[in-house]
Structure 1
Amino acid sequence: MRLVVLGLSLSSAWGNGHATTFRALLKAFAARGHDILFLERDVAWYRDQRDLADPDFCRLCFYDDLDDLARFTPEIAEADAVIVGSYVPEGVAVAHFVQEVAGGTTAFYDIDTPVTLAKLARGDFEYLSPEVIPGYDVYLSFTGGPTLDLIERTYRSPAARALYCSVDPALYAPTGAAKRWDLSYLGTYSPDRQPTLERLLIEPARALPDRRFVVAGPQYPGDIDWPANVERIEHLPPAEHAAFYSASRFTLNVTRADMIAAGWSPSVRLFEAAACATPIVSDVWEGLDRLFAPGREIILATSPEQVIAALEGADASALGRAAQQRVLAEHTAAIRAGELEHHLAEACAAAERKSAA
């Protein structure tokens, strides 16, 4: 299959989870024998922070603006499938261009589904609008569950299919690093996640001054009152994630408000930490118990006291190993690449039936 992907970023993981998601998925997709061209808008923010400028699993090209994108018209027209990702700059205009030019299957890959739907509901069409959704043959969604029916019913998508993020087990595995922190958190600052981070990490840190904590990720405001036992790491490149998780007795998963409301929205960090066999403490949302068994593969917490009990409790290494086994069985990039192949083939067959009719 010749696949063209227009995504937010493949070259830089700075301040976004899209790059690691695309890297794992497309590397595994290429391993199935497919040819991939990734088109990325050349913006200063990512240009100055690139950590993968020349991937070995696909061709990566940059374009300056919509006019410059037009030089890739032959590749888009001749591709068997074209995927446009969420948060692509001028995504609505890109959708019109792709849907007009593409000769094969077209798909929208939403790595931010609950955020996207909230934006649509308030008339914010930053990268997707209701008018272009029916023009995509398939809507690949970061979120599963009832949200898929909503996308088909309300926004007239011909097919909405779950395509969760995944993990590359060749990059995310236990490293044997010595334990440096009792509880870690890896994530870019988000105002709606911060209250949960305060409740489930900062408050336990204040209550346990002899324990060690760490928060890694950019864009945190300078006025946050970090306790003395909370270490800050401004940016942690993907190459260092496995060592970070392996050095953590526990790691914290915090979910954005829109994703909690929708449920069924696992973050890539959840699978990456589990692949490293690091015990996870997570906030609570619908569908999480279908991904990991509470108490056996993950610890669910809503209060500082529950986090403290986990940190003060017995060794949880068995829990981490159980989560690792679950991820390796169900959420690797290789498994997800097979799902992507199936969804694109299914959409292609549906389009051919419609054309014949």
Structure 2
Amino acid sequence: MSRPLDIVVLGLALSSSWGNGHATTFRALLQGLHDEGHRVLFLERDVPWYAANRDLPEPAFCELRLYDDLPGLAADWGDRIRAADAVIVGSYVPEGGKLIDLVAAMRPRQFCFYDIDTPVTMALLDEGNTDYLHPRQIPLFDIYFSFSGGEVLTHLERVRGAQRALPLYCAVDPALYRRQEAEPRWDLGYLGTYSPDRQPTLEAFLIEPARRLPDRRFVVAGPGYPEDIDWPANVERIHHLGPADHPAFYSRQRFTLNVTRAAMRRMGWSPSVRLFEAAACATPIISDDWQGLGELLPEGEAIVIARSTEDVLRSLVSTAEPDRRALGEAARDRVMRAHTGRMRGRELATALRQETATAI
């Protein structure tokens, strides 16, 4: 039996899910690593917007510690970073570029990057934005883990200079995300922080259907939406919904909407954590279209792919109840077979061990 791994993760957020999708992604992954017997220290920058909204201050599946600044990080945790079997820096970490240089200078045994925003990262680098990653730093990593798969992996290696690029999709914790028996409250719902490039799709796939179906009920949950959005009267707004409330939220929807950021749609192979969470709750999903989605969840069998407002309207009005339930159950079956946190943790540990074996 292989020795458990000692892993240090420096990520955007674990303690708070407010306004970010990183926390739930890390929680499922780290729970999976814990279930596989590995030890994880998660180091999170202490920032006021997360401090005011911490919904998991003391996780049971890992050691969580906060740091105030980079000198404090080096002083307090340098020894653990140097001794760990692997150190993983996540995307969007505050002062990420400086942090990467600091950790690289400590010469960790294995140094990896986990990009939970790969298409966005590539677009930012093309624009010259190097806040959390600089192009010269990509070759520093032994493995560049990407939440996007497909062609971006080849791009990372051949164009960006990554030593090794591997997919590490988001995942779901099935102990937390499961179907709850409840009468549907909404015909269609959406869970997500406001993003300007997602808003046109939300307008076309939820707000416009709400206008055309005034007798149906809709809901949008998430922070950051501008005050000037003209919400129809039959669209309920929930400012923030913590992860503990997500399963009940999904279970009260007849359909849930998945909306993908523009850069991720263009690149494809970028399933969001919300996609897997909704599927785990057996809630039928209506999603925008992108390359690779149909291979994760087959169109018409485990997901509805919408290309127009009319597609959404047709699903809401014309889908028979047995067919609607079958969509949700098929999606849940596929996610439980391939996209749980434990499976993802196993994939990560296997990749780290392979890299170590290759280096010896």
TM-score (norm 2): 0.97
Q: State the shift of 1:33 in Å.
A: 1.0
Are 2:50 and 1:50 aligned? no
Equivalent residue, structure 1, for 2:353: 345
Equivalent residue, structure 2, for 1:355: none
Match of 2:270, as an amino acid? S
Could you give the per-residue CA deviations for residues 133-164 of structure 1, whole angstroms, max 9, x where no partner exists?
11110000010000000000111111000000
How does 1:257-296 map onto structure 2 within 5 Å?
Answer: 257-296=262-301
How does 1:298-309 map onto structure 2 within 5 Å?
Answer: 298-309=303-314
Q: Equivalents in 1 of 2:335, 2:168: separation in Å?
A: 15
Equivalent residue, structure 2, for 1:12: 16
Which runs of at least 4 in structure 1 moved beyond 4 Å after TM superposition?
none
Q: Equivalents in 1 of 2:62, 2:106: separation in Å?
A: 22
3-state SS of paired residue (2:224):
coil
Could you give the per-residue CA deviations for residues 75-118 of structure 1, whole angstroms, max 9, x where no partner exists?
00000000000000111111111112143111100000000000
Q: Equivalents in 1 of 2:122, 2:199: separation in Å?
A: 22
Q: Equivalents in 2 of 1:344, 1:108: separation in Å?
A: 12
Q: Equivalents in 2 of 1:346, 1:156: separation in Å?
A: 20
3-state SS of paired residue (1:123):
coil
3-state SS of paired residue (2:257):
strand
3-state SS of paired residue (2:33):
helix
3-state SS of paired residue (1:252):
strand
In the alignment, which of 39, 42, 56 is matched to residue 43 of structure 2?
Answer: 39
In the alignment, which of 331, 335, 350 is matched to residue 339 of structure 2?
Answer: 331
3-state SS of paired residue (1:132):
helix
In the alignment, which of 128, 148, 152 is matched to residue 147 of structure 1?
Answer: 152
Q: Equivalents in 2 of 1:90, 1:103: separation in Å?
A: 19
Unaligned ranges ≥5, structure 2 = none
Are 2:26 and 1:26 aligned? no
In the alignment, which of 225, 230, 236 is matched to residue 235 of structure 2?
Answer: 230
Q: Aligned residues, how many? A: 352
Equivalent residue, structure 1, for 2:204: 199
1:82–1:102 CA contact under 8 A, matched in 2? no
Identify if the C-alpha distance between structure 1 residues 258 and 156 changes in structure 2 by more than 3 Å, giving closer, same or farther. Answer: same
3-state SS of paired residue (2:57):
coil
Q: State the shift of 1:122 in Å.
A: 1.2
In the alignment, which of 163, 187, 196 is matched to residue 182 of structure 1?
Answer: 187
Q: State the shift of 1:349 in Å.
A: 2.5
Are 2:328 and 1:320 aligned? yes
Q: Equivalents in 1 of 2:186, 2:107: separation in Å?
A: 50
1:81–1:107 CA contact under 8 A, matched in 2? yes
Equivalent residue, structure 2, for 1:80: 85
2:182–2:251 CA contact under 8 A, matched in 1? yes
Match of 2:196, as an amino acid? P
Q: What is the aligned-residue identity percentage? A: 60
Match of 2:40, as an amino acid? I
Could you give the per-residue CA deviations for residues 164-207 of structure 1, whole angstroms, max 9, x where no partner exists?
00000110000102110000000000000000000000000000
Q: State the shift of 1:271 in Å.
A: 0.3
Q: Equivalents in 2 of 1:21, 1:40: separation in Å?
A: 14
Match of 1:235, as an amino acid? H
Equivalent residue, structure 1, for 2:67: 63
Q: State the shift of 1:346 in Å.
A: 2.0
Identify if the C-alpha distance between structure 1 residues 102 and 38 changes in structure 2 by more than 3 Å, giving closer, same or farther. Answer: farther
Q: Equivalents in 2 of 1:57, 1:321: separation in Å?
A: 29
Match of 2:141, as an amino acid? Y
What is the RMSD computed on CA atoms of the aligned residues?
0.7
Match of 1:68, as an amino acid? G
Are 2:302 and 1:297 aligned? yes
